[in-house]
Amino acid sequence: MLTVDFDRLGLRPGDRVLDMGCGGGRHAFEMYRRGADVVAFDQDADELAKVNEWFWAMKEGGEVPDGAEAATKEGDALALPFADGEFDRIVAAEVLEHIPADIQAIGELVRVLRPGGTMAVSVPRWFPEVVNWKLSDDYHNNEGGHIRIYTEEELRDKVTKAGLAYDGKDYAHGLHSPYWWIKCAVGVENDQHPAVRAYHKLLVWEIVKAPKVLQWAGKVLDPVIGKSMVLYFHKPLESATA
């Protein structure tokens, strides 16, 4: 399930794009399908191996346009192994909340984005995330877990101070917030709880079948309790001469 709106990002075939902190690769796969030249970047070698297998399967299965390229790269978000201005588009989805030195990571993202390029940054939304933290310490007190809860103002301020211009915001996954509230209330590892199992079936139905009733429910709930907040930015052209 995608968090970023690629039309709003301005993604076009042939764009060189970075999915920073790609995880399982959901955004990288969609950008590849749309004909982009994709780099899926993460520090987890095992995840990247799986993503690379999917890239190969997509190519072999004819799921991507001719000319589209995809690769994986392992490394540190605080020292991206890319040239200045290398990417036309950047996605950083649900990753900054895991990084202690988030300002340094943002600075690296801005560095490798070309002037005129665009970036989408998504993080857990403040209110749903606060509820999760209040209900369960186990939700965030684990290695590699969430270390901060962003407000919209804080995230926007950090990115604009790094050199990007703010273009707008969106919210996503309104149906997912109640699921996590239930999990935090009964125990985040308690996947066999009847309420968790029932709601999980609902989410699987949403993802696999995309019924209109759940599409409508999502549109209603996203602005109210959407679990993810997505901010969109661009790098001013004058950055080329700064």
Averaged pLDDT for residues 172-190:
96
* Beta-bridge mates of residue 42: 74
The pLDDT, as a whole number, for residue 167 is 98
Q: Is the dihedral of CA 20, 24, 30, 32 positive or negative?
A: positive
The pLDDT, as a whole number, for residue 240 is 60
The pLDDT, as a whole number, for residue 238 is 83
Name which residue leads in pLDDT, 167 or 144: 167
Exposed/middle/buried for residue 135 (C-beta within 10 Å: 0-12, 13-18, 19+): middle
The pLDDT, as a whole number, for residue 239 is 66
Mean pLDDT for all residues in the chain: 96
Q: Which of 1, 2, 11 is nearest to 234 (CA)?
A: 11
The pLDDT, as a whole number, for residue 182 is 97
Using the predicted structure, report yes or no on whether residue 105 has a pLDDT greater than 90: yes
| CA 27 remoteness from chain centre | 7
The pLDDT, as a whole number, for residue 237 is 92
Query: Domains plus CATH for the chain?
Result: 6-125+137-173+226-241 (3.40.50.150), 174-225 (no CATH)
Neighbours of 26 (CB within 10 A): 16
The pLDDT, as a whole number, for residue 144 is 81
Q: What percent of the chain has pLDDT over 90?
A: 94
pLDDT digits (tens, 9 = 90+) for 214-240: 999 999 999 999 999 999 999 999 866
* pTM score of the predicted model: 0.95
